[in-house]
Amino acid sequence: MWGGRAGALLRVWGLWPAGVLGRRPLSCNAASLAGSNPSGCWNCGSPGGPVRGDGFFCPQCRALQPPDLTRDYFSLMDCNRSFRVDTAKLQQRYQQLQRLVHPDFFSQRSQTEKDFSEKHSTLVNDAYKTLLAPLSRGLYLLKLRGVEIPEGTDYEMDRQFLMEIMEMNEKLAEAQSEAAMKEIESVVRAKQKELTDNVSRAFERDDFEKAKEILTKMRYFSNVEEKIKLKKIPV
């Protein structure tokens, strides 16, 4: 079967999408890790207030509270849970949150608050990066829907698509000039743009199977993009 053979070849060449995003833990909503203390502020014990929403600080003593890890990235970043996000708004929200929680603002505070601020800041960074890039945003949306794409799967990839990817990788391996690289780069970029439009429509129709298929393709192209970046860096 082609899928198996092509898969093996891609693996041997190291062309398999290693999941540029796979390394990043996407799950941030494990209830067991929930940091917010429902019994009140960790510092003064004041009940209520800081647990939900944007109550990062205790209304009584103003101490920074631990991050609410049950909150998903869309809620944290004040975005609708949808593939279409307003990236300008996303960026504004990112800056607004970092102005509240960034460790630079806690250098004179207690160690507990320093630690919480590190955690908040990392979470906000992860949420921002995840929602900013179409591929990671799409994968995250699917994950919230309970749909995951296992690493290294040749999930229903058709022969034609795998051929296209292999040819592109061959061209990239052979590319000697800046111009040759640029050409491949622009082809990949155009593909990603088209796939982003397509996956956006799939999400609008709530067609998660289609979205999964398109995102898998985007992951292959994203892997090519990573290779282009690496090749550009002179060793």
Ligand X SMILES: *[C@@H]1O[C@H](CO)[C@@H](O)[C@H](O)[C@H]1NC(C)=O
Binding residues (CB under 6 A) for ligand X: these are 80, 86, 89, 191, 194-195, 198
Closest to ligand X by CB, 89 or 189: 89
Q: Give min distance, CB of 69 to Zn ion, in A.
A: 19
Q: Give min distance, CB of 107 to ligand X, in A.
A: 33
Which residues, numbered 12-51, are part of the site for Zn ion (CB under 5 A)? 41, 43-44, 46
How many other CB atoms are there within 10 angstroms of residue 84's CB atom?
A: 11
Using only the alpha carbons of the chain, give its radius of gyration: 21
Residue 153 contact, options Zn ion, ligand X, none, Cβ 5-8 Å cut-off depending on partner type: none
Tell whether residue 64 is a contact of Zn ion (CB under 5 A): no
| 22 contacts 219 by C-beta, under 8 angstroms | no
CA distances 116 to 34, 60, 68, 171, Å, are: 13, 18, 11, 48
Closest to ligand X by CB, 42 or 220: 220
Closest to Zn ion by CB, 19 or 48: 48
CB within 8 A of 168, min separation 6: which ones?
A: 184, 187, 188, 224
Q: Give min distance, CB of 190 to ligand X, in A.
A: 9
Q: Give min distance, CB of 93 to ligand X, in A.
A: 9
Residue 198 contact, options ligand X, Zn ion, none, Cβ 5-8 Å cut-off depending on partner type: ligand X
Q: For the chain, how far is it from start to end, CA to CA, in angstroms?
A: 38
* Dihedral sign from CA coordinates of 202, 208, 210, 211: positive
Amino acid at 170: E
Closest to Zn ion by CB, 14 or 53: 53
| 188 contacts 225 by C-beta, under 8 angstroms | yes
Tell whether residue 61 is a contact of Zn ion (CB under 5 A): yes
Q: Give min distance, CB of 59 to Zn ion, in A.
A: 8
Tell whether residue 70 is a contact of Zn ion (CB under 5 A): no
Q: Taking Cα atoms as reference points, which of 223, 27, 33, 221 lies closest to residue 143?
A: 27
Q: How many positions of this chain bind Zn ion (CB under 5 A)?
A: 8
Residue 60 contact, options ligand X, Zn ion, none, Cβ 5-8 Å cut-off depending on partner type: Zn ion
Tell whether residue 60 is a contact of Zn ion (CB under 5 A): yes
CA distances 9 to 73, 154, 162, 163, 189, Å, are: 37, 12, 10, 11, 24
The residues of the shown chain that bind Zn ion, judged by CB under 5 A, are 41, 43-44, 46, 58, 60-61, 63
